[in-house]
Amino acid sequence: MTAIEAIASVMDEGEIVRESTQVEKLSKDYYWYSPVLAEELREKRAEAVIRPQSYQTLKRALEAAATARLPVTVRGAGTGNYGQAIPLNGGIVVDLSGLNQILHIEEGKARVQAGTKIKQIEKEAAETNQELTIYPSTFAKASIGGFIAGGSGGIGSVTWGNLWDGNVLSAVVMTVEDEVRLLEVEGEELQHYIHSYGVNGLLLEVTIPLKPKTDWEQTIFSFPDFDSALTFSQELAAGALRKRLVSTMEKGIGDFFLPLKKSIAGEDHLVFTETSETERTDVRELAEASGGRPVYESDAASYRKGLGISDFTWNHTTLWALKADPQWTYLQNFFSPDTYKSQIDTIKARFGEDVLFHFEWLRDKGTLLPAALPLVRYTSKEQLYDVIAFFNDIGAPTHDPHTCLLGAGGWNLQLEEIRQRKETNDPYQLLNQGKLPDKAVRDEALSAKQSS
Ligand code: FAD
C-alpha cells in the first residue's frame, strides 16, 4: 500500500481528493502576486488533499502520515501571498475548511474552529452586538486559522494592533506524531504559533476577542497633495475618533479601482476611512482642515452590502493594480513615524513613478506606525532587490513578500522558540517542510534582532 492509499484507508467517504486539477488548485495560494515566487513555486504540488470533517479522521490521517513519514501542509482558504500554503515536497495538503463550527460566542470573545470563514464570525458576533477586533481584507474568503497562522493584521489594526497584540486569546493545537496530541495554548506561548505557517502544529480551535459593535461608515476623501493626505491620515489614526481603517493612496493608484471610477476618476491623493457614524462631523472637519473633501460616502446601513471600500485596501490594492497591469508587484515596509515624509521624498526622488505609495496605518505593540504596501513596477528579481535594499538603507525595513521562508522577510518572529515547538510537536519534521529557515539564517535573524 502506498502512503496515500494508507491515508485514504483511514478517511471517511469524500474526505480525500486525488483528482489532478483539484489537487493542483488546492496546492496553490496567491503566491503569484510575487513574480519571484510565481517562478519558483509554479511546479510545486501535493500528491493528494484531505478534507477532514471531524477531529477523529484528521487524527487518524495525521498518524498515518507520521508512520509513512509523509510531508503535511495545512491549508485554510489558500489566500496567503507568500506561498505559505504550497507544499514544497509533495505529500498531502490538509484542507481544514470542513472544520468550520462557531463553538461559542460570549461577551468579549468567540471560540471557533480554525476553518471558519472570518466573515461568518463577524456576522454571528453582530447578532450579539459585537464585532471582530482585526481581520484581513480577504475576510470574505479567508479562514480564521489561516489568518492567525499566515497573516499579520488588517482592518481594525489601526486601533487594535496586529495578531501579536492580544488579538488571539487561546488555541487548541494538534501535533503530528505516532500518537497525535491536542495542546491547549495560551498566554505568551501563543506567540510561537501566530504567523508560524503551521510548521509546528495544526490550529484546530482558536479563541479571539470581540468588542462592542460600532456603526461604521465608509468615506473616501480626496486631497490636492500627498503631504496633506498623510497629515490627515496620521491625525485620524493617532487621535481619539473611532476608526477601523485609515488607508492612504498616492495619486495614480485610484485609477486601478474600476468599480469606484464614478466617484474617484480624476481625483488626486485619496484616503479611505471607516469611522463611526456618530462622529461624522468631527472626521469631516479634520479632513477639511488639511484641505480634504469627501468624494465617496456610504452610510452604516450599507456596511457589508456589496463591495466595501476595504476591498481596495491592504493587499487588495495590489490585486487591482495587477488587474490593470501585471507588471506591478509590491513590498511591505514600516516607515518611521517621525521622518516618514522625508523618507517618502527620498524614495520618490530615486524611483519616481516606478513606486506608488499606499499606506495602511496600524498599531504595533501600541505604537502607531505608517506601514506601507507600496506598489513597485517589476522588471527583474535583481531590480526588485535593489529597490528593497534602498528602502532598507533609508530606514524603512522591508518584510519581504517575495520569499516563502518563515521570518526571513521580517516580522519579529521568535524563530528559535518556533523551532523548539516543532521538535516536540512534529518529531519527524513533516509539517510544511522547507518553510522554516535553516540554522544559519535563524542565527543571522537573531543577531540582527539583538543588535537593533
Ligand atoms: P492560507 O493561505 O490557507 O494559509 C496561510 C498559512 O497558514 C499557510 O502557511 C498555511 O499552511 C497555514 N495554515 C492555514 N490554516 C492553518 C491552521 N488551521 N493551522 C496551522 N496552520 C495553518 N493578510 C493580512 O494579514 N492582512 C490583509 O489585509 C491581507 N490582505 C490580503 C488581500 C489579498 C487580495 C490577498 C490575496 C491576501 C491578503 N492577505 C492579507 C493574505 C491572506 O489573505 C491572509 O493572511 C489570510 O488571512 C490567510 O487566510 P487563509 O485561510 O487563506 O490561509
Average pLDDT value for the chain: 95
Kindly state if the Cβ of 52 falls inside 6 Å of ligand 1. no
30 ligand 1 Cβ < 6 A: yes
Distance 50 CA to ligand 1 centre (A): 19
The closest-lying atom of ligand 1 relative to the alpha carbon of residue 75 is 3
Query: Which residues pair with residue 113 across a beta bridge?
Result: 205
For the CA of 73, the closest atom of ligand 1 is: 11
Per-residue pLDDT reduced to its tens digit, 74-97: 999 999 999 999 999 999 999 999
> Residue 177: what pLDDT?
98
Is the minimum distance from the CB of 79 to ligand 1 under 6 angstroms? yes
Tell which atom from ligand 1 comes closest to the C-alpha of 147. 47
Q: Are 113 and 172 in contact (CB under 8 A)?
A: no
350 CA distance to ligand 1 middle (Å)? 33
Pocket lining: 80 vs ligand 1, CB cutoff 6 Å? yes
Sorted by where each begins, the domain ranges of the chain are 216-399
Residues 6+ apart with CB under 8 A from 213: 125, 126, 129, 130, 131
Find out whether 290 and 231 touch, Cβ atoms under 8 Å.
Answer: yes
- Ligand 1 centre distance from Cα of residue 403 (Å): 15
C-beta separation of 176 from 199 below 8 A: no
Distance 75 CA to ligand 1 centre (A): 9
Q: Are 295 and 220 in contact (CB under 8 A)?
A: yes
CA-closest residue to ligand 1 atom 12: 197
Q: What is the mean pLDDT of residues 178-207?
A: 97
Task: Please choose from 147, 165, 207, 322 the residue to mutate so as to test ligand 1's pocket, defined by most ligand atoms within 8 A of CB.
Answer: 147
Does the beta carbon of 71 sit less than 6 angstroms from any atom of ligand 1? Answer: no
Pairing between strand 333-334 and 202-212?
A: unpaired
Cβ neighbours for 366, distance < 8 A, ≥ 6 positions apart: 161, 165
User: Tens digit of pLDDT for each residue in 112-129?
Assistant: 999 999 999 999 999 999
- 198 ligand 1 Cβ < 6 A: yes
> Does the CB atom of residue 156 touch ligand 1 within 6 A?
no
Query: pLDDT at position 443, please?
Result: 66
The number of the ligand 1 atom at minimal distance from the alpha carbon of 143 is 51
Is 343:49 a contact under the CB 8 Å cutoff? no
Residue 1 in grid coordinates: 500500500
Whether domain 216-399 has CATH 3.40.462.40: the reply is: yes
Which atom of ligand 1 lies closest to the CA of 96?
18
Q: What pLDDT, on the 0 to 100 scale, is given for residue 407?
A: 86
Distance (Å, whole) CA 98 – CA 254: 37
Q: How confident is the model at residue 413 (pLDDT cuts 50, 70, 90)?
A: confident
Backbone φ, ψ for residue 27 (5° rounding): -90, -5
173 Cα nearest atom in ligand 1: 19
Ligand 1: does its nearest atom lie under 6 Å from the Cβ of 310?
Answer: no
What is the mean predicted confidence (pLDDT) over 403-430?
Answer: 90
382: number of Cβ within 10 Å: 7
Torsion of CA 126, 164, 152, 385, to 10 degrees: 170
Ligand 1 neighbour 136 (Cβ under 6 A): yes
* Contact 147 CB / ligand 1 (< 6 Å): yes
Query: How would residue 222 be classed by pLDDT, with cut points 50, 70 and 90?
Result: very high
For position 65, what pLDDT does the model report? Answer: 98
149 touches ligand 1 (CB under 6 Å): yes
**Alpha carbon distance 451, 443 (integer Å):** 12
pLDDT for 438: 81
Q: Angle, to 10 degrees, between the axis of helix 55-68 and the axis of helix 3-10?
A: 160
- 441 or 135, which is more confident? 135
Neighbouring residues of 229: CB distance < 8 A, sequence distance ≥ 6: 221, 223, 248, 249, 269, 270, 271, 290, 292
Phi, psi of 344 (to 5 degrees): -60, -45
Q: How confident is the model at residue 449 (pLDDT cuts 50, 70, 90)?
A: low
Flag whether pLDDT at 244 surpasses 60.
yes
Regarding the beta carbon of 312 and ligand 1, being less than 6 Å apart is answered no
C-alpha cell at 229: 493626505
Largest Cα separation within the chain, whole Å, is 72
Hey, whose CA ends up nearest to atom 43 of ligand 1? 79
Closest ligand 1 atom, residue 203 Cα: 19
Q: How far is the CA of 85 from the centre of ligand 1 (A)?
A: 8
What Cα–Cα distance (Å) separates residue 299 from each residue in 115, 158, 216, 259?
Answer: 31, 20, 7, 18
pLDDT at 445 over 70: no
Please state, in angstroms and rounded to a whole number, the distance separating the CA atoms of residues 401 and 22. 26
Neighbours of 89 (CB within 10 A): 13
Grid coordinates given for 80:
496567503
Q: Is the CB of 197 under 6 A from ligand 1?
A: yes
Q: Which residues contact 227 (CB under 8 A, 6 or more apart)?
A: 341
- 401 touches ligand 1 (CB under 6 Å): no
Position 327 scores a pLDDT of 97
Separation of alpha carbons 435 and 326, rounded Å: 27
Atom of ligand 1 nearest to the CA of 315: 32
> Is the CB of residue 68 less than 8 Å from the CB of residue 61?
no
- Interface pTM, i.e. ipTM: 0.99
d(CA 21, CA 41): 17
Helix and strand element counts for the chain (H, E): 15, 20
Sheet holding 293-298, edge to edge: 293-298, 216-223, 269-276, 243-249, 358-364, 367-372, 333-334
| Residue ID of nearest Cα to ligand 1 atom 21 | 198
- Please give the Cα distance from 9 to 4 (Å, whole number): 9
From the CA of 379, how far away is ligand 1's center (Å)? 27
Are 79 and 26 in contact by the 8 Å Cβ rule? The answer is no
- What is the rounded CA–CA span in Å between residue 180 and residue 155? 35
Asked whether the beta carbons of 330 and 375 are under 8 A apart, the reply is yes
Ligand 1: atom nearest CA of 193 is 20
What is the per-residue DSSP string for 165-193? TT---EEEEE--SSS--EEEEEGGGGGGT
Local structure of residue 379 (DSSP, 8 states): S
44 lines ligand 1 (CB under 6 A): no
